[in-house]
Amino acid sequence: MPYQQLILDVNPSAPTHWINQRANRGQLRRILSRHADNPIFTAEDQATLDSLSGVRRTRLRDGRWAAAEGLVYDGWDAAVHLVDPFAIPPEWPRIRAVDFGYTNPFVCQWWAMDPDGRLYLYRELVGVGQRVDQWGPEIVRLTGSERIDATVADHDAEDRATLASVGVPTIAAIKAVSPGVQAVAARLGRAGDDRPRLYVLRESLVRRDPVLTERKAPQGWAEEIEAYAWPVSGDGKPQKEAPVKVDDHSMDTGRYAVMYYDAPSMIPGTVQEQVLDTLEAW
């Protein structure tokens, strides 16, 4: 060819996505297609797409570049908050956060804090269909020799005891939704240095889960956050009391991590005391 070419195959995202904006400005050629254009598209595929709801249905089934109505974290900007992977300095404090699940996703996130107090999500494990005693050894393996200050987790006592038995002691997460959402939103905003205080590393997702892929469910923070929305009333206005409880497992887990750092006074007892209590209970 007399010139270079780059061909992209993408699903629609938010209208503000750079690909959509460049296409709208005529800076690249866009060929629109729908699922029905695929000659091997089946009735089962159609049923999967028909089962979607909200902005994911609009994007994946209808093929429209659409924004979620009433986004919880409308300050999220992938162009700003998603950053290229880098080696986390070993001296940075690190924690893990865990949300239990089996049919619904199990999530473990690894977070680090830089000297200026910014948080970085640098690793995320997401999947379904495994027991906690199966996830535990993988968490240990992925952590390796990293120094982890604490692991905050959902409150299920049996699951926490199981993690402790395989070398992952936990403390109970602060699960208050409204304060947690406000804390995350505050970190997404720009601070005095014109930089946010929360970042997510690209490729932080350890691997994609095939069952969730088949469900066309979002996997990981960067995918969940763009459809994480408030419920909408009959008049079309968002009801900002509690977010819609759909595809929110990474969002919950990240909220636990942020609240560990931003609301330490709400954690009963010291980290050491809670770890000892967990081990003793087990």
Closest to 220 in 3D by CA, of 252, 242, 179, 189: 252
> Is 92 within the bounds of a domain?
yes
Report the 10 Å Cβ neighbour count for 276: 13
Query: Are 231 and 155 part of one and the same domain?
Result: yes
pLDDT digit string, tens, across residues 62-83: 777 766 668 899 888 888 999 9
Residues in the chain, total: 282
Position 280 scores a pLDDT of 47
Structural domain total, the chain: 2
> Is 3 within the bounds of a domain?
no
Residue ending a domain, choose from 6, 32, 61? 61
Strand-pair category, 198-201 with 119-127: parallel
Query: Are 112 and 46 part of one and the same domain?
Result: no
| Structural domain containing residue 254 | 78-281
Position 15 scores a pLDDT of 65
Query: Are 99 and 167 part of one and the same domain?
Result: yes
Report the 10 Å Cβ neighbour count for 115: 9
Position 271 scores a pLDDT of 46
In sequence order, what are the beta bridge partners of 141? none
Q: Which residues of the chain have a pLDDT value below 50?
A: 267-268, 270-282
> Is 140 within the bounds of a domain?
yes
Name the pTM for this structure: 0.76
Closest to 175 in 3D by CA, of 200, 160, 153: 153
> Is 190 within the bounds of a domain?
yes
pLDDT digit string, tens, across residues 5-19: 778 788 887 765 778
Query: Are 48 and 150 part of one and the same domain?
Result: no
> Is 231 within the bounds of a domain?
yes
Write a three-state SS string for 150-211: EEEECCCHHHHHHHHHCCCCCEECCCCHHHHHHHHHHHHCECCCCCECEEEECCCECCCCHH
Position 275 scores a pLDDT of 43
Output the six-digit token pair for 73: 């974290």
Query: Are 109 and 173 part of one and the same domain?
Result: yes
Query: Are 133 and 241 part of one and the same domain?
Result: yes
Provide the CATH number for the domain around residue 186. Answer: 3.30.420.280
